[in-house]
Structure 1
Amino acid sequence: MRTGSEQQTIQQEFTYTGIGLHTGSQEINMTCKPLAVNSGIRLKRVDLQSEPEIEATVDNIVSTKRSTSLGTEEWQISTVEHLLAALNVLGIDNLLIELDAGEVPVTDGSSKVFTELLQNAGIKKQNEKREIYTIEEAVWVREEDTYLVVLPYPEFKITYTFVSNHPAVGNQFGEFTIDKDTFVHKIAPSRTFGFASELEALQKEGLALGGSLENAVLIGENEIINNLRFKDEIVRHKILDIIGDMALIKPFKGHIVAVRSGHALNRKLARKIKRQVMPY
């Protein structure tokens, strides 16, 4: 079933400059510009000679290793999920995102800065309906001991169980009905995180090169190194990631229940929802 409201874009363009979490790229310039109705969310690499452009859809994911990356075999844009989460909850349907590097700036590792930038730019209703789908029967995916299911529900809700035997993290449970106020105050500020024991191996793979205590929660052998914004910030960030990855399909109402899921499983669920619920 589909319902409608007005499509939205931003009132004025803005530019933000920051570093890349995984690539370590310094001074990435990101400019967001309003687009006409039915344009979708589009990303453009202005640093490449052909200035290639791609739509932010689940079919254009090229990697889910430690982040969600969009692109082709020739080029890509990584770490899109935190920006997409803000666009998802704010209901922005049409936007051009220009980047002069292969990664979205990490800001502080959360969606807080993106949310503030978009709200400050102003959100503009457009003269065309958007489609919001309703989940009418369960859709699920599973990989070994990770699970992800979306159930019928009149709003957009996410329940997540984070499982860990780390003494300072432990198991964490989060459940939120995702509306703008809840997202802004309870989800958007939650930062990405990493384990110090994995850092060297990740950097050898060309990942987490720009990570620091300024843009990530660092988990040591027995303790969390920096101060948390929420005592359960880890599980809240996992919920944030799901919101961002689900922005790669049409908006929908339903209750997502997740156990240990990450970007790869989020992608599988998004593709299955698109195939079963959004035939277009």
Structure 2
Amino acid sequence: MQETTIKKAVELVGIGLHRGVPVKMRLEPLGAGEGIIFYRKDKNLYIPLHPDSVVDTKMATVIGKRDESISTIEHLMSAVYSYGIDNLLIILDNDEVPIMDGSAMSYCMLLDEAGIATLNASKKVLKITKEIEVREENKYVKLKPSNSMIFDFTIDFSHPVIGKEYLRFEFSKKAYLQEIAKARTFGFLKEVQYLRSIGLARGGSLENAIVLDENRVLNPEGLRYPDEFVRHKVLDAIGDLSLLGCPIMGEYEAYAGSHALNHALTKQLLANPDAYEIVETKGTNEEGFVLGAAYAKE
């Protein structure tokens, strides 16, 4: 498989989830080996996608440099990762990625409009060779060897609508579009006042999140999947792991995982070079973005 970018520039306008201000986002192609780069047009500031760029993980994954930041990148990056895009310039005129409907589906539609272009360079994959784990009390996230990309996620909320949910998802672009992309972020009505007092969730509404009171879902349309909550956690995890810079071949497992734990996992993995190797994929892009055993050691 070859590295990819998008065929043409595309853009959209939406509201930022936490500050609640309008944001214009434009995606532009980049050449082979350039990676994924964010650009704050209003600050003339480039921020590369990398675990070292993360400056906050409270309620969202935030990257930054020189006291400037870009918040809530995980839903967009989940879509970009799932489309197998290796090189991309993401231009924003404010400090948040637009939240759209709270899922990744709007970004998938934008990428469909842009189209995928192959480049003259072989796609690299990060292959997990040894288990890496990060724990916080009873919560944990881990990566372990596998010949495919699997997400094994459990959540457990003391809420009558959610409770304990479990999903084992074997990654492919097709499966992502059908099973993960439409899952929305969620929050609890009792937390909204506090979040807004610390400058978060000011753009949140029933249009871009699942909102729950003590007993029920407040969105009149209900849920998109019976287990939409754990599916959105997988969506987030895909976006958070995209900061590693290339597709992963391995199994991700989480119990009550979070942005903070995912970030710690990426840092710990990169700090242990014996836990992974970079391999070069075989096959053609026409097969679609599906990672399997078809790889060659670089």
- Would the TM-score normalized by the shorter structure come out above 0.5? yes
Indicate whether 1:102 and 2:95 are aligned: yes
CA distance in structure 2 between the aligned counterparts of 1:18 and 1:120, rounded to whole angstroms? 17
Partner of 1:10: 6
Partner of 1:230: 225
Aligned partner of 1:114 among 107, 112, 117:
107
Aligned partner of 1:213 among 200, 206, 213:
206
Which stretches in structure 1 are left out of the alignment for 5+ residues?
none
Partner of 1:265: 261
Partner of 1:248: 243
- Tell me which stretches of 4 or more aligned residues in structure 1 moved more than 3 Å: 277-280
Question: Counterpart of 2:18 in structure 1: which amino acid?
Answer: H
CA distance in structure 2 between the aligned counterparts of 1:118 and 1:274, rounded to whole angstroms? 29
Q: Deviations over 1:231-268 (max 9, x none)?
A: 10000000000000000003211111100010000001
Give the Å deviation of 1:166: 0.6
Give the Å deviation of 1:275: 2.4
Indicate whether 1:45 and 2:46 are aligned: no
Matched residue pairs, number? 273
Partner of 1:181: 174
Give the Å deviation of 1:152: 1.1
> Could you say what the CA RMSD is over the residues aligned between the two structures, in angstroms?
1.2
Aligned partner of 1:194 among 177, 182, 187:
187
Aligned partner of 2:29 among 3, 24, 34:
34
Q: Deviations over 1:4-51 (max 9, x none)?
A: x3110000000100000011112x100000001111110011112xx1
Question: Counterpart of 1:217 in structure 2: which amino acid?
Answer: I
Structure 1 length-normalised TM:
0.95
Partner of 2:74: 81
Which stretches in structure 2 are left out of the alignment for 5+ residues?
279-298
CA distance in structure 1 between the aligned counterparts of 2:242 and 2:55, rounded to whole angstroms? 16
Give the Å deviation of 1:274: 2.1
Question: Counterpart of 2:31 in structure 1: which amino acid?
Answer: A
Indicate whether 1:129 and 2:122 are aligned: yes
Question: Counterpart of 1:113 in structure 2: which amino acid?
Answer: S
CA distance in structure 2 between the aligned counterparts of 1:274 and 1:241, rounded to whole angstroms? 20
- Helix, strand or coil: the match of 1:176? strand
- Helix, strand or coil: the match of 2:232? helix
Structure 2 length-normalised TM:
0.89
Give the Å deviation of 1:74: 1.4
Give the Å deviation of 1:151: 1.4
Partner of 1:139: 132
Q: Percent identity?
A: 39
Give the Å deviation of 1:270: 1.1
Partner of 2:60: 67
CA distance in structure 2 between the aligned counterparts of 1:100 and 1:137, rounded to whole angstroms? 41
Aligned partner of 1:152 among 116, 140, 145:
145
